[in-house]
Amino acid sequence: MNTLNFLFEKPVEDWIDHFINKEKFLSVLNSSESDLNHLAHLAQLVNQFTEQALAVDKEVEAQIQKEIDEEDVGYTRRKASKLWLCALACCAATGWNIELIKKHCNVLVLRAVLGKLLLFCFPDRGPNVEKDVIPEIFNDTVEIKQRFCRPEQIFSTWLYAKWIVQLDVTGRFPEPVAKPTVSNPLNQYDANLILADQFRVCIAELRLRTPDALKLLERLLNEVAIDVMPIVSKESFTEDLFKENNLDQPTASLLDAGPLQTSLPHPHFRNFDGVESLNWRTHTCYDLLCDRFAAGDFVESRNYLRKIIEAWPNVMALGKMEINQAMTNEMNEAIINGYCVALGLRPLAKSDEQLFTTERFFYSEISEKTIDHLSLANQSLLRRSECYRIASTSSAPFSCELLAENAVEEYRRGISASAFTLAKINSSNGGRLRLAKSLVKLMDICHENDGLRLKFECIIEFLMGACPAFAADIRKVEGEHVHHFKNILMKILPRRSKTVTPDAAAIKDLLSGGTDLWKLIVSNDVSEIRSIVSSMATKFNNPYRIRPSRMIGEAVFKTLPPSSADYIMFLLGKLEQFAKVGNYAHWSDFVSGCVVELGPIGKSQDVKNRLLYDAIRVRLDTWHNRYCRCANTSDFQQFTSALLDNVKAILPAAASMNPPPPLAHMMLQTVAFLINTLEWDFLRKIQTLKLAYYDFILDPVAGCSLS
């Protein structure tokens, strides 16, 4: 038995450990611990209980279809109801911590558990939450008081609408692409991809409810009668869960349901935790702010942000918020200040008044005064882009000047202006002058920062070289450091080259002179190369960059004697150089001398076959290089026709050769050539080729040949 004692720690308790032991489950729910580990454990239990409840619900449907005994169906239904109650009790124990639960539950689980909460809160609306309950709670034609008569209904709809809004915010940013299973040789359905597609469809369906959720939250904010938001407590779900059994027995199971009950276990909403109006309204405004900001509705975002700023001192005066902080988005002073900077409002740490003197400044017509104010103040890029949007969509003549101001701010932040931006500014005299003024002004301001000043000097020099008109505008600007650029235009203008191209005699003299190694490199005569190699005093080593083709080199290198290996490889490397430059005439002349130098090796049938197929490969490379430039000329069409006949002749013959030539070294060029010449039928009929490129192209070839 000692060999079985391999666990160093106690195993993590699963849902079944709590489901069969009531006291253990109650101790977890009523634990006074508030650390992240305990809350994470509760969130994991929510996920596990919900998955089990969904599975048991499917089991109930299967039993009904099979016409199982009614008592067995009732037992399974009670089990499913208790699983749902356990899941909701864990949710309540976390303080309805949606942000934390989302980290441990996927969107399908959250949709199921919140939908079950709505069904429990609206028992008279119908069994289907999507068809019966949700359309009713989002029906804005009925007053709030008539739709939500009980406290739990107000809470459940408020929580569900907040979750929809938060889901819309996260859904605007693309999720990481789901990766398929690494090993799937049988090409079976991939569970990861199927589950990812289910998530995508679920999020898309839920986001369609975003407008309704926004309207509902707005109406709840405007409802004066809702002073205190009732938060459902965990005791509401445990009353029916344990009343059928003796709680004094520590191992009593939740499955001991006793005799068949006339009604299923359900929550009893009697206990609520009240949250003051200031807290829940502020958090709701924050959710609406996040959604409208993500949607690009900055006007509404400012309205909600002003409400938060107005209520923030009173919220902070209450100390720790009564509502659980993780129940909503993490709203703190740093995040609110970030929204203030982005939306052009003064941060909370300073005051609640706006950064600008009047409200009319932002919405006024763009003018010279507006642009000067933007250049003086440390404005945000968002505000600058909003001003530019107003100017570009109106008849204001200052849109290019605003674009220039934004370009300078981007340069200051280390972001290069795009070519489109510079072209737009260059097209306007006012835009170029504004760009010059702003750059010089900012350089004067940053004169103590040598690094930043040097960066702006480089930017100005670049712009002066790229646009001569900008250099003329620089001369019109007055500044402390602008004198450095007064005469810079002549310095950076390109001067005409005075280098004289050498004549033919000088080039011929260059090729004929030099060392023996240089003569080897420039020579194209086999006999001359042989004599130079034999006359060299030191041992000749083949240069690294001169390599033969793989088609010929594989067969020749393994049979060459060591004494002549470097010399033969050099000849074959020179042969491959002709192939790379597309000179087939010199290649065919040079290959004859190479065969003579090979001696008995060149007479073998394998080498002859490889030389034949390598010649086709060289012609294929030449064809591909010429195809994009002169495909319509008559000589190229004749060359294509002759090459096509050769390819059609040698490919079927390759299977009968012994040993067969390595077609893999030329299959890419061959398949591409046949595709470009639309030889679909020929590709489809060849059954002897079993190579990578050929196998890859079979499916598209079959489709093209049918069409």
pLDDT tens-digit readout, 157-188: 999 999 999 999 988 887 777 777 777 677 77
371-380, Cβ contacts within 8 angstroms, sequence gap of 24 or more: 371/398, 371/401, 371/402, 371/405, 371/434, 374/402, 374/405, 375/405, 375/408, 375/438, 375/441, 379/344, 379/409, 380/341, 380/342, 380/344
Domain extent for 671: 514-706
pLDDT one-digit tens code per residue, 376-397: 445 555 555 655 565 555 545 5
Last residue within a domain, chosen from 79, 103, 127: 103
Q: Which of 29-43, 91-105, 213-227 has the lowest average pLDDT? A: 29-43
**Over the chain, what is the mean pLDDT?**
75
**Mean pLDDT of the region 202-219:** 91
Q: Using CA atoms, how far apart are residues 275 and 325, in angstroms rounded to an integer?
A: 12
Q: What was the pLDDT predicted at 392? A: 55
Residue 561 maps to a domain: yes
Model confidence at 254: pLDDT above 70: no
Is residue 664 a contact partner of residue 691, using CB atoms and an 8 Å limit?
yes
Last residue within a domain, chosen from 103, 120, 140: 103
Same domain, 563 and 652: yes
Same domain, 334 and 470: no
Identity of the highest mean pLDDT range in 6-20, 99-113, 344-358, 592-606: 99-113
Q: Which of 246-255, 329-338, 446-455, 641-650 has the lowest average pLDDT? A: 246-255
Same domain, 472 and 537: no
**Mean pLDDT of the region 616-631:** 79
Q: Using CA atoms, how far apart are residues 29 and 234, in angstroms rounded to an integer?
A: 8
Token pair listed for 440:
């010089």
Residue ranges of E strands in 135-262: 229-232
Identity of the highest mean pLDDT range in 75-84, 407-416, 571-580: 75-84
pLDDT one-digit tens code per residue, 658-674: 677 777 777 788 888 88
pTM here? 0.50
Same domain, 295 and 389: no
Same domain, 331 and 466: no
Q: Using CA atoms, how far apart are residues 474 and 606, in angstroms rounded to an integer?
A: 73
Same domain, 559 and 457: no
Same domain, 487 and 520: no
Which of 664 and 201 is assigned the larger pLDDT? 201
Residue 183 maps to a domain: no
Which of 154 and 344 is assigned the larger pLDDT? 154
For the chain, state the CA radius of gyration. Answer: 40
Same domain, 304 and 427: no
Same domain, 455 and 315: no
Model confidence at 284: pLDDT above 80: yes
Residue 483 maps to a domain: yes
Model confidence at 323: pLDDT above 50: no
Last residue within a domain, chosen from 42, 71, 103: 103
Token pair listed for 451:
């690094």
Element (H, E) at 222: helix 210-222
pLDDT one-digit tens code per residue, 675-700: 778 877 777 777 555 555 565 666 56
10 confidence band (pLDDT: 50, 70, 90): low
Same domain, 443 and 568: no
Q: What was the pLDDT predicted at 245? A: 43
Model confidence at 627: pLDDT above 60: yes
Same domain, 664 and 564: yes
pLDDT one-digit tens code per residue, 330-369: 677 888 888 888 887 877 754 333 333 333 344 344 555 5
Q: What is the number of structural domains in the chain?
A: 4
Q: How many CB atoms lie within 10 A of CB 600?
A: 8
Residue 698 maps to a domain: yes
Over 431-458, what HEC string results?
HHHHHHHHHHHHHHHCCCCHHHHHHHHH
Same domain, 471 and 549: no
Model confidence at 525: pLDDT above 70: yes
Model confidence at 110: pLDDT above 90: yes
Residue 285 maps to a domain: yes
Residue 385: C-alpha distances to residues 381, 398, 414, 577 (Å): 6, 13, 17, 56
Residue 246: C-alpha distances to residues 81, 234, 256, 624 (Å): 19, 20, 10, 86
Model confidence at 11: pLDDT above 60: yes
Residue 315 maps to a domain: yes
Model confidence at 579: pLDDT above 80: yes
Residue 444 maps to a domain: yes
Model confidence at 252: pLDDT above 80: no
Q: What was the pLDDT predicted at 262? A: 41
489 confidence band (pLDDT: 50, 70, 90): very low
Residue 423: C-alpha distances to residues 460, 463, 676 (Å): 16, 11, 40
